[in-house]
Amino acid sequence: MYILGIETSCDETAAAVVEDGSVVLSNVISSQVDLHRKWGGIVPEIASRAHMENIMPVLHEALSASGKRLSDIGAIAVTIGPGLIGALLVGVSAAKAMAYSAHIPLVGVNHIEGHMGAALLESPDMQMPFVMLVVSGGHTHLYYVRGFRDYEKLGQTRDDAAGEAYDKVAKLMGLPYPGGPVIDRIAGEYAPRASVNGGPKFPRAYLEAGSLDFSFSGLKTAVLNYVRGRDMSDETIGLVCREFQDAAVEVLVKKSVQAVKNKNAGTLVAAGGVASNSALRSALLSASRENGFRLVIPRPEFCTDNAAMVAASGYRLFKLGAASGLDLNPQANLPMEKMKTGG
């Protein structure tokens, strides 16, 4: 069965064709990074307009690259939230138009469910239940996944998402947007703080005992206080990047491991754009070996927003009977734990 996936929740216009939930025939992404870079972050109105310009060419390219026609498609899976409402409307409107005109079933997919699909693309044999860390520019959540549409939220950020903190810290130091890959690269060039005299020491926010929630605002403020009025030499920037990344990664890993232990889970899934961060991937791998659980992290190209992951989850949801009607509407704030099989 061929699924056409559509993803427009933020600043990537993406479409993909996936066979039987695991074989990626095409995966087309039109990035808007260059449009938003001069603003230092995503401008929702600009994102929506770019999606409107790009959606049809991206859909045509995805079908063409897959070697399939619209008449070959068994269902259309589309992200319905959470995300920027104007951006979501573009993808959902296109999906509904095609579903109606070609008499193809429609499946609404939560964006975080899409990231689950990325893990299943990587490891189709993965068994549920598992713990999932979703970490990106808009999300930092821990879930216990018993099955599709059976989710328990274990923790979430109380302020900034991890990726958002990366971008803001990069901006404080005059580094280009998006900040995550830049900080990751620079941090990798510097030794750990403990071996460097005079390097900064930033806080690790664990919150109250036993909490699986996250907080990055204090870490961001600590960076601001450190760099304010300081000569930002290459060495200073490098040490700040390394210590900031160490602080963020340490908390993400420790809380993820604690969630696995609390649920006696055999598998941890890490997904979302920040899951492509080299330090986080390395630290999670070490933790999985030390604590004896399986770690599943998609390839970097499937960590960032894409439509193949939406199609992979859409296939499994469709098999469960989660088809949606043409009255399907996006929601900017769409809790995953409240998703129902009926769409």
- Name which CATH class applies to 127-300: alpha beta
Structure tokens, 135: 């970490």
> For the segment 275-295, what is each residue's pLDDT rounded down to a tens digit?
999 999 999 999 999 999 999
For 16-27, letters b (16+ CB in 10 Å) and e give: bbbbebbebbbb
In this predicted structure, what is the pLDDT of residue 191? Answer: 67
Structure tokens, 138: 């808009």
Average pLDDT over the chain, rounded to an integer: 94
In this predicted structure, what is the pLDDT of residue 137? Answer: 87
| Average pLDDT rounded to a whole number, residues 42-47 | 91
Reduce the DSSP state of residue 309 to 3 states and report it: helix
How do strand 2-7 and strand 73-81 relate by DSSP bridges?
parallel
| Average pLDDT rounded to a whole number, residues 256-264 | 98
In this predicted structure, what is the pLDDT of residue 194? Answer: 44
> For the segment 298-321, what is each residue's pLDDT rounded down to a tens digit?
999 999 999 999 999 999 999 999
CA distance 213 to 206: 8
Q: Yes or no: is domain 2-118+302-338 CATH 3.40.50.880?
A: no
State yes or no: pLDDT of 71 exceeds 80: yes
Identify the weakest region by mean pLDDT among 55-64, 75-84, 182-191, 270-279: 182-191
Q: Which residues pair with 106 in a beta bridge?
A: 76, 324
Numbered ranges of CATH 3.30.420.40 in the chain = 2-118+302-338, 127-300
In this predicted structure, what is the pLDDT of residue 82? Answer: 96
In this predicted structure, what is the pLDDT of residue 342? Answer: 55
> For the segment 156-193, what is each residue's pLDDT rounded down to a tens digit?
999 999 999 999 999 999 999 999 999 999 999 886 65
Question: Got the DSSP string for 65-117?
Answer: HHT--GGGEEEEEEEEESS-HHHHHHHHHHHHHHHHHHT--EEEEEHHHHHHH
In this predicted structure, what is the pLDDT of residue 343? Answer: 45
In this predicted structure, what is the pLDDT of residue 40? Answer: 82
State yes or no: pLDDT of 37 exceeds 80: yes
> For the segment 144-155, what is each residue's pLDDT rounded down to a tens digit?
999 999 999 999
> For the segment 19-35, what is each residue's pLDDT rounded down to a tens digit?
999 999 999 999 988 88
